[in-house]
Chain A
């Protein structure tokens, strides 16, 4: 009997490892790092080339005079000369400082508000739909009020940036908590996670993808609000990127205007790419990254 059990258990061991080996065979597909980067990069480079080409063609067509629509070469030269002087960098620092302060504050407000609304039925009934309504409000529509309240000041910009970004972040948290699979909650509770531990071990990590999506959207809103604010609230700081846009228009300096726009675009893209990378890392861990790898 003893030897019988032994052989049968040894047989089971062999069967199990055999089955495991068969079932997960061929799941690992290794692509070299270089190939992956190239695959992600070349379509972007091609699109950029086409965009610049189209721009050049419009300039060559003579649709607008060169002093209002300069070509890519001229703007490129302006961009390089701007990059050599202090003005662009000062503006960038001013703008990024405002963006960082406003965004960090928005993130804190949004996370706390979202968590509170997700937890409390009363709060949800009271302000749940208001948060969504706030999200649809174009942030520029807040500026007249902000200027009445805070005059033409940093505070007015900060006010609008937070109102623009915080609702998106709060909504991300709310939907993240709402869509935690009930099965995972039951499993977590059965494993001994109650109260705060349930948040720490199950709800927060399960909600993370939606929270990151909310943070990403919140960034887009705060960046737009900030640009609108810097265009309107000129004069408090000489060099912010938004102020440079206004001055270049006043001076009819089209190359300066376009090169400033390019800088604004690049900043937005870089931050967006950072969020994209975070999102992708999460999806890879979760095993929900699609085959195309985008």
Chain B
């Protein structure tokens, strides 16, 4: 844990960011990537971060995941485990089978073999890949690989899930189905999710709250609750209305950089 990471007070927040700043480089070539970002994610809340290029979305997730240190501000996490992080690429280990990949975090936590086997089977059932445990990643489709990555992240048993455009590289059909899957797993396991995307519709489909970040430097410029009852459909008029509102604001922000 970094010195700037503290446990948030009580159980009212799963992730607490206050005044988080990130500067890359030094002196005249320094780039301000994030500027005073304050944000609380409640336990069981699904928050989507939306922004154009250069808004520091991925930087923010790296900081919360503990893969990088903030230049200023505080990051607090519920529980003492690192949050799970998923990327746009599945980032599976090609030398291991599907089972082997899901088993890695369990091995690193030194769980006994019998328990590991049980947990792997349970996790693969959760992502509907119970029959594919012996396959290697290259034998699976993109959507299946991303589900293996999800199972592997869930094996961390962490209450907080960070997702960095996890469905960005998938076709629309697969993405729709994975939205349903993620929504189910999120509500079954009462996860807190911080989900980064540039796809505004995806955000409106999934989020309890959408947060819009400005670009260069990244600042929170808009935040809206999404009170559409679940399960939602990405093509429903309510989702489209929210998406239209956020898109409008995103375009205004992008236009600001062209002047």
Contact = CB atoms under 8 A, between A and B. Distances in A.
A208 B87 contact: no
Chain A interface size, under 10 / 10 to 19 / 20 to 34 / 35 or more: 20 to 34
B138 A287 contact: yes
Nearest to A204: B95
A285 B153 CA distance: 23
Nearest to A197: B108
B93 A184 contact: yes
Contact of A24 (B84, B108, B128, B140): B140
Question: Which of the listed residues A12, A15, A190 has the most CB atoms from chain B within 10 Å of its own CB?
Answer: A190
A187 interface: yes
B231 interface: yes
A192 B83 CA distance: 10
- Tell me what chain A mostly uses at the interface: helix, strand, loop, or mixed: helix
Nearest to A18: B177
Given A12-B184, A24-B141, A191-B152, A287 B136 contact: yes
B177 A202 contact: no
A201 B35 CA distance: 36
B105 interface: yes
Interface of A: 5, 8-9, 12-13, 15-17, 19-20, 23-24, 27, 183-184, 186-193, 197, 201-202, 205-206, 208, 282, 285-288
29 contacts: A5-B231, A12-B184, A13-B128, A17-B128, A19-B173, A20-B132, A20-B143, A23-B141, A183-B91, A186-B67, A187-B85, A187-B87, A187-B91, A187-B93, A190-B65, A190-B82, A192-B82, A193-B104, A193-B108, A197-B108, A205-B93, A205-B96, A206-B95, A208-B95, A285-B94, A285-B136, A286-B95, A287-B136, A288-B94
Interface pairs A-B: 4 shortest CB-CB:
A287-B138, A23-B141, A187-B91, A192-B108
